């Protein structure tokens, strides 16, 4: 088991089957940008399921604490933990918000799986990376379905102000 003092790990597993069930566990039928879809959030991270499935998402921060001018890496691991033969997740979207007191580091939003990376600059989602100081949120949309048992990684870096 990893040394939990080395990084922050936040994980969630959920199954979305209906609006009524989703409402009971606090899922919101709108994304943070107001577009239709499901979003579940934990500590600033949100992800959008497209059909009934189970996905785990972990958020890691390295180092766990930092001082001014230090670079911090946020990384996310996700896995479709469905059983063999279960349908793939057709659309998987992961969001995160740049924490207060931190500035995005240009060129650091990456994804292990092929994905479209978008940045929210305070007024719109854009596919061309804006000036780092204007980045408020980052969104990864997987380009292909996430098969049952498949997993991936996404990450970005910030500088502590």
Domain count for the chain, please give it.
1
48 domain residue, yes or no: yes
12 vs 96: CA distance, rounded Å: 15
According to the model, what pLDDT value does residue 47 have? Answer: 53
pLDDT at 53: 60
* pLDDT tens digit sequence for 19-44: 333 333 333 333 333 333 334 443 44
Q: Which residues pair with 118 in a beta bridge?
A: 139
5 domain-assigned: no
CA torsion 138-27-30-45 (nearest 10°) is -10
Asked if residue 63 has a cis previous peptide bond (ω within 30° of 0), the answer is yes
Residue 103 lies in a domain: yes
Provide the CATH number for the domain around residue 73: 2.60.40
Residue with tokens 């921060």: 61
- pLDDT, tens only, 69-128: 999 999 999 998 887 778 888 888 899 999 999 999 999 999 999 999 999 999 999 999
90 or 16, which is more confident: 90
In a domain, 4, yes or no: no
152 lies in some domain: yes
- pTM value? 0.70
For 8, 71, 88, 94, 141, the CA distances from 145, given in Å and listed in that order, are 28, 32, 6, 14, 10
Is residue 43 included in any domain, yes or no?
Answer: yes
Q: How far apart are CA 132 and CA 117, in angstroms?
A: 14
Which domain does 58 fall in, by range?
10-160
């Amino acid at each position: 088991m990893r040394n939990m003092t080395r990084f922050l790990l936040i994980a969630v597993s959920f199954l979305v089957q209906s609006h009524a069930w989703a409402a009971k566990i606090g899922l919101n039928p709108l994304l943070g940008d107001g577009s239709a879809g499901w979003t579940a959030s934990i500590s600033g991270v949100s992800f959008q399921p497209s059909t009934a499935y189970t996905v785990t998402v972990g958020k890691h921060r390295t180092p766990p604490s930092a001082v001014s001018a230090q670079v911090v890496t946020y990384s996310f691991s996700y896995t479709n933990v469905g059983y063999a033969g279960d349908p793939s997740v057709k659309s998987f979207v992961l969001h995160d918000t740049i924490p207060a007191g931190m500035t995005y580091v240009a060129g650091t939003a990456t994804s292990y799986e092929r994905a479209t990376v978008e940045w929210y600059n305070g007024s719109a989602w854009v596919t061309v990376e804006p000036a780092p100081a204007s980045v408020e949120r980052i969104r990864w949309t997987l380009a292909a379905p996430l098969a049952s048992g498949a997993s991936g990684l996404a990450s970005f870096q910030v500088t502590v102000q």
